[in-house]
Structure formats: structure tokens, C-alpha cells
């Protein structure tokens, strides 16, 4: 079984660009994985998504979806993928149902009919089912202009899944959504993914969304800055784990730490690195009564910021 | 079958959008009335008598065709709006022929233009009734298919120009330069005769000329005014229009898709 996505030495330079927007990027996404592509604004994330979804031609390199070349087998690739664009791509002049119908007929799932009533029963049942899933009910026949941002996003996701894509691209899908809408959207996506084993390719600025992914690729200035599982990326930062302690007798604690040869940094609390010993080992050696004991383990966000900062230096 | 599905889907969306845009409907009905009423009456009073035929009818046939041609042409610019609104991404990532999408777009804008032309046609019938011109019902009805053909040519001409425009703002600046000269080169308001050689040469490459002349060829067919008004035989105009349509459609689509993907 070919990988869901395979990118090899991909390069893209825009006509008016003075540098490569994507510069020798390679990665692989296996079937069923949730893959997160992270990077600061302008890093090249949307460019990569555009190339993989066949709306942009690469300058060099190769990219394939389920073994199909995106440059030479574009039409077949389009049948296999679903896309949620960074900017909403709904037609606000149409109703929600008309947007769904437009997508369904373009993908050849149903023959064109000018009205909902003239569409086959199977289509009408499907629309009712989808409208219930996103809590639209009969509002599915109202113009899109009346919908909230969260509802529009959800409709886009539902629309993109109608043709049962094998790979779903989500380009910053929750940008501009309130926390409740974001959570709601991810619950729905998780349900869908668990149900059909679809591969999801995600670009996002929200690190907690990427935390649940199987693999992460961090790109910066068009190049791959890091690539691996969330745990592996965080593990690179193990040296940044530390123990934070404090005491009412600060002078006593300072003297004790110095005598025990435990290197510390006053921030003004006492920050002790966990790179070479565990928190328990350190605490066991302290007799001064402590008013604060706190450990800090690097998050994905720490890893991301560290990788991007180091890369920029 | 798939391509037909795509063409109808894309075309229907444009028609639906138009039917829901009331200000656009009103504007599209009012403007040609004003042109025919004021310009037609004025020209009829000043030079119409000297020409020896009903000048209001002459202006009507010109404005009718020009309105349809221009409306379809301008409608194609909405592809730029779609691109700016990111809706075109949804259409262009679907697994359908790019030609089917563009043909659907041209068909859709042609239907929109025809919807706009209905009011104009009704107005024309009143002019015919009020005049003493010997125009039969079939000649009048002939304006419907010939108008649709003008729309298709206008739409394809818009598609031919579109890939060279990077934004709606540039399109709004460029299109008047492409449209206004054609009013005169096609003889929309005034007869195209006794022109300097370079104007005549430019007229030959003006797509609107063939659409306007074909309309008049059908409308004045069998009347004594035919030889005084119509420049070329309808068959020749039709052949040129078919050739131009094919050229504009193929080169416009190829360039548009290439420009979109090779940014």
C-alpha cells in the first residue's frame, strides 16, 4: 500500500519571489495518520497544501497522493482528496444546501438538478442527515450569509467529506473560531477519523491541535526544521525540564543548594535543571522547608518555539 | 455526461446568483432603455431621416447585441471575484475538466445576459410596433437565438482577456478600453461606412462587429433595408464567430489554468 502522501525534495519559487517559498522539503504520511505541518506565517505551509491538492505546480521535486503524482495525475488525485481551505470557500450567495449540491454534482455523486426537490431521494436523505449532524435542521435552506463562522467551517468540512476522500487536507481549519466551536469541530473530525480511518493533513497555529497528531513536520522559511512524533520533538528539549522550588528561608535554601552542588538559577525562585537527575532525587537532598515545589516539562509549544528560534539564529 | 453535469452546475450557479441580486437586475434593465430612448431618439431626429431607414430600430439592434455581448464578457470577470473570495478553489480542486468549468461559466454568464436582455427585447417589440418597418414575427423572434450567440462570443472574449488580468481592479481599468472602441468599430450606434483604412482594419478584428452584424442580418433579412444596413452575409458572420469562439475558449482556458497553477 503506497503512503497517503509522499513528498520528495519539493521546491516552489513563485514568479515574483526572490527566494524559494518551499525549499527541498521531504516527508511521508502513512495511511490513517494525523499529520501536522507547523510553521510561522509565511513558512510555506499553504504553498505545500496547494501543491498537494494540485492547484499549484511545483518548481521541482515530486509529490504524490496514494501513489498518484500530483503534477501528472492531477485529476485522479482530486478524486482522492478533500480540502478545507485556509479562507472559507463557500458561496455566500447560495444556501447551505445549494453549496452541498454544487459540490456533490461537481464530484459526480449525483446528476445536476436545478432544485432540491428534483434531486434523488438518496441525496435528500443525505442532506437531512448532514444537517442534523451539524445541528442545522431546516436552516440548511437558508442563505450562507446568515451563518456563524463556526457553522460555516463545519459545513465546509461536511461538504469536503461527501465524496469520501481518502486524504483530508485541513489548512488552519479553526482559525478565527471561538474555543467552543474549535472543540466541537475536533470532536466531529475525531469521530469521522475513527469511523473511516481517513488520513488527515493539518496545518495549524494551535499547538494543542497538533499535540494529538501522529507525526509533526515543522517548517521555517520553506525548509524542514524538525520532523518526528510529538514525543520525539519534545524529547529533544529534555534539557529544558526543570524543578522550581522556593522557601520562606531563602538564604538557608541558597546555602543548602550550593553545599549540595546542585546548580540553580534564581528567577527569583530557585530553578534547578532536571537534565541530569530527577525531581525526586533533588528534593530528597533538600532539608530546608519548601513553600513551593513545581516541575516544568517542555510542551510541544516549547519545542516548536525552540526549533523555530534556533533555526532563525 | 460528467462534463455536461459540470457545465450545467457551474452555469446554474451564475444564473441563481443573478436572480438573487435585485440591484443588478434593476440596473441591467434600466441602462439599455435609457440608451435606446435618448440616444436612439436623438440620432433618429438628427441623422436618421437622411439615412432613409428607422434609426431607432438600427440603434435597438446594436444596443441589444452590445448589451448581451458586454454583459457576458463582464460576467466572466467574476472568476476573478471568485478567486479573491477563494470560491474558485472549491471549483478548481474538483475532479472535472477545466474546459467544462469554463464552458459552464460562459454558458452561465450568457444565460444571465439573456435574462437581462428579456426586458430589452420587450422594449424592442414596442419600437417595432410603433415603427412602419416591415419586420415579421419570425425575424423578431430570431433575435433570441442570435442574441444568445452574441453572449457566447462575448463570454469567450472575456475568457480570452481574463488570464492577462491579475485582479478585479485591473480588469475594471482595462475592460472599458476593450469595450468602448468596439461600440464604434461594430457600428452599434452609427452606421459603419466611409471609415479611414485603419479604423476599417481594426473593425475586422473587433468580435462585437460580427455579433452586431449577424443580429442585423437576421433582423433585416428579406427587407429593403438589408443591403443598406448589413455589412456581411449572416453565414460569413457566423463562420467568423465560431472561429473566434473556439480560439478564445481554448487559448483563454489554457492560459487561465496555466496562470493559476504556475503562480
Domain ranges of chain B: 2-261
CB contact under 8 A, A78 and B93: yes
**A161, part of any domain:** yes
A169: part of which helix (H) or strand (E)? strand A167-171
Share of chain A above pLDDT 70, in %: 98
Asked if residue A252 and residue A223 are part of one domain, the reply reads: no
Chain B residues touching chain A at CB-CB below 8 Å:
2, 4-6, 8-9, 12-13, 16-17, 20-21, 85-87, 89-96, 260-263
**Has residue A57 got a pLDDT over 70?**
yes
What's the angle, vertex CA B160, arms to CA B154 and CA B163, rounded to 5?
135
**A163, part of any domain:** yes
What is the model's pTM?
Answer: 0.78
CB contact under 8 A, B90 and A15: no
Mean pLDDT, range B186-210, rounded to an integer: 86
Residue linked to cell 541558597 = A254
Residue window 266-285, chain A: list those with CB within 8 Å of chain B: none
pLDDT at site B32: 67
| Average pLDDT of chain B, as a whole number | 85
**A135, part of any domain:** no
Mean pLDDT, range B193-211, rounded to an integer: 87
Asked if residue A249 and residue A225 are part of one domain, the reply reads: no
Chain A residues with CB inside 8 Å of B260's CB? Answer: 55
- Interface-testing mutation among A112, A144, A164, with chain B (most B C-beta atoms within 10 A): A112
The whole-angstrom distance between B4's CA and the closest CA on chain A is 9
**A218, part of any domain:** yes
pLDDT at site B169: 84
Report pLDDT digits (tens) over A66-92.
999 999 999 899 989 988 887 778 888
pLDDT at site A55: 86
**A138, part of any domain:** no
Asked if residue A213 and residue A286 are part of one domain, the reply reads: no
Among the candidates A181, A214, A230, a domain finishes at: A230
**A86, part of any domain:** yes
Asked if residue A280 and residue A198 are part of one domain, the reply reads: no
From the list A56, A83, A112, which residue is nearest B8 (CB)?
Answer: A112
Q: Which domain does A253 fall in, by range?
A: 238-297
Chain A residues with CB inside 8 Å of B21's CB? Answer: 93
Asked if residue A254 and residue A184 are part of one domain, the reply reads: no
**A63, part of any domain:** yes
Query: What residue spans of chain A are helical by DSSP H?
Result: 45-52, 74-80, 96-106, 121-133, 149-161, 179-196, 207-210, 230-235, 250-259, 279-284, 300-312
B128: part of which helix (H) or strand (E)? helix B98-130
What's the angle, vertex CA B178, arms to CA B174 and CA B182, rounded to 5?
160
Asked if residue A292 and residue A167 are part of one domain, the reply reads: no
- Interface-testing mutation among B4, B15, B87, with chain A (most A C-beta atoms within 10 A): B87
pLDDT at site A181: 76
Q: Which residues are registered as beta bridge partners of A199? A: A167
User: What band does B120 get if pLDDT is binned at 50, 70 and 90?
Assistant: confident
Q: Which residue has the higher pLDDT, B233 or B28?
A: B233
pLDDT at site A58: 93
Asked if residue A78 and residue A17 are part of one domain, the reply reads: yes
Asked if residue A246 and residue A212 are part of one domain, the reply reads: no
Number of domains in chain A: 2
Mean pLDDT, range A18-33, rounded to an integer: 92
**A58, part of any domain:** yes
Residues 6+ apart with CB under 8 A from A243: A271, A272, A274, A279, A282, A283, A293, A294, A295, A296
Q: Which residue has the higher pLDDT, A176 or A104?
A: A104
pLDDT at site B149: 95
Report pLDDT digits (tens) over B89-101.
788 888 888 889 9
Asked if residue A291 and residue A176 are part of one domain, the reply reads: no
Asked if residue A205 and residue A161 are part of one domain, the reply reads: yes
User: How would you classify the pairing of strands A242-246 and A292-296?
Assistant: antiparallel
pLDDT at site A215: 93
Asked if residue A274 and residue A202 are part of one domain, the reply reads: no
CATH classification at residue A206: 3.40.50.300
Amino acid at each position: 500500500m503506497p503512503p497517503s502522501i509522499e513528498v520528495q525534495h519539493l521546491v516552489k519559487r513563485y514568479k515574483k519571489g526572490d527566494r524559494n517559498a518551499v525549499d527541498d522539503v521531504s516527508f511521508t504520511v502513512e495511511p490513517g495518520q494525523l499529520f501536522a505541518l507547523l510553521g510561522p506565517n509565511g513558512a510555506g505551509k499553504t504553498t505545500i497544501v496547494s501543491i498537494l491538492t494540485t492547484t499549484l505546480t511545483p518548481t521541482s521535486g515530486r509529490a504524490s497522493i496514494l501513489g498518484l503524482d500530483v503534477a501528472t495525475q492531477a485529476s485522479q488525485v482530486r478524486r482522492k482528496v478533500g480540502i478545507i481551505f485556509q479562507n472559507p470557500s463557500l458561496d455566500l450567495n447560495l444556501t447551505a444546501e445549494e453549496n452541498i449540491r454544487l459540490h456533490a454534482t461537481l464530484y459526480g455523486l449525483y446528476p445536476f438538478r436545478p432544485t432540491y426537490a428534483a434531486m434523488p431521494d438518496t441525496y435528500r436523505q443525505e442532506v437531512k442527515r448532514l444537517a442534523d449532524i451539524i445541528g442545522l435542521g431546516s436552516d440548511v435552506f437558508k442563505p450562507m450569509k446568515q451563518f456563524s463562522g463556526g457553522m460555516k467551517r463545519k459545513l465546509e468540512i461536511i461538504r469536503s467529506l461527501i465524496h469520501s476522500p481518502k486524504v483530508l487536507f485541513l489548512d488552519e481549519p479553526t482559525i478565527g473560531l471561538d474555543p467552543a466551536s474549535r472543540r466541537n469541530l475536533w470532536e466531529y473530525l475525531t469521530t469521522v477519523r475513527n469511523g473511516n480511518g481517513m488520513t488527515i493533513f493539518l496545518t495549524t497555529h494551535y499547538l494543542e491541535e497538533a499535540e494529538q497528531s501522529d507525526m509533526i513536520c515543522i517548517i521555517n522559511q520553506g525548509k524542514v526544521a524538525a520532523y518526528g512524533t510529538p514525543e520525539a520533538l519534545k524529547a529533544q528539549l529534555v534539557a529544558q525540564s526543570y524543578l522550581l522550588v522556593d522557601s520562606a528561608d531563602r538564604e538557608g535554601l541558597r546555602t543548602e543548594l550550593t553545599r549540595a552542588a546542585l546548580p540553580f538559577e534564581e528567577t527569583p525562585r530557585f530553578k534547578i535543571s532536571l537534565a541530569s537527575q530527577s525531581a525526586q532525587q533533588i528534593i530528597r537532598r533538600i532539608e530546608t522547608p519548601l513553600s513551593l515545589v513545581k516541575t516544568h516539562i517542555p510542551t510541544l509549544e516549547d519545542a516548536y518555539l525552540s526549533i523555530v528560534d534556533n533555526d532563525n539564529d | 455526461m460528467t462534463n455536461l453535469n459540470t457545465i450545467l452546475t457551474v452555469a446554474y450557479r451564475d444564473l441563481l446568483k443573478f436572480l438573487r441580486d435585485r440591484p443588478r437586475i434593476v440596473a441591467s434593465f434600466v441602462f439599455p432603455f435609457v440608451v435606446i430612448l435618448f440616444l436612439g431618439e436623438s440620432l433618429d431626429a438628427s441623422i436618421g431621416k437622411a439615412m432613409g431607414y428607422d434609426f431607432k430600430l438600427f440603434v435597438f439592434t446594436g444596443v441589444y447585441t452590445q448589451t448581451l455581448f458586454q454583459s457576458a464578457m463582464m460576467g466572466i470577470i467574476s472568476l476573478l471575484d471568485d478567486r479573491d473570495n477563494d470560491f474558485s478553489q472549491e471549483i478548481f480542486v474538483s475532479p472535472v475538466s477545466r474546459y467544462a468549468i469554463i464552458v459552464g461559466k460562459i454558458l452561465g454568464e450568457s444565460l444571465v445576459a439573456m435574462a437581462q436582455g428579456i426586458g430589452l427585447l420587450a422594449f424592442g417589440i414596442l419600437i417595432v410596433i410603433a415603427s412602419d418597418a416591415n419586420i415579421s414575427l419570425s425575424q423578431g423572434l430570431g433575435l433570441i437565438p442570435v442574441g444568445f450567440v452574441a453572449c457566447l462570443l462575448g463570454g469567450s472574449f472575456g475568457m480570452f482577456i481574463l488570464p492577462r488580468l491579475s485582479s478585479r481592479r485591473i480588469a475594471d481599468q482595462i475592460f472599458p478600453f476593450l469595450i468602448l472602441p468596439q461600440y464604434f468599430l461594430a457600428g452599434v450606434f452609427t452606421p459603419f461606412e466611409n471609415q479611414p483604412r485603419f479604423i476599417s482594419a481594426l473593425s475586422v478584428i473587433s468580435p462585437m462587429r460580427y455579433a452586431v452584424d449577424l443580429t442585423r442580418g437576421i433582423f433585416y433579412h428579406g427587407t429593403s433595408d438589408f443591403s443598406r444596413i448589413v455589412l456581411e452575409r449572416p453565414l460569413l458572420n457566423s463562420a467568423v464567430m465560431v472561429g473566434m469562439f473556439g480560439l478564445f475558449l481554448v487559448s483563454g482556458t489554457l492560459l487561465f489554468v496555466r496562470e493559476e497553477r504556475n503562480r
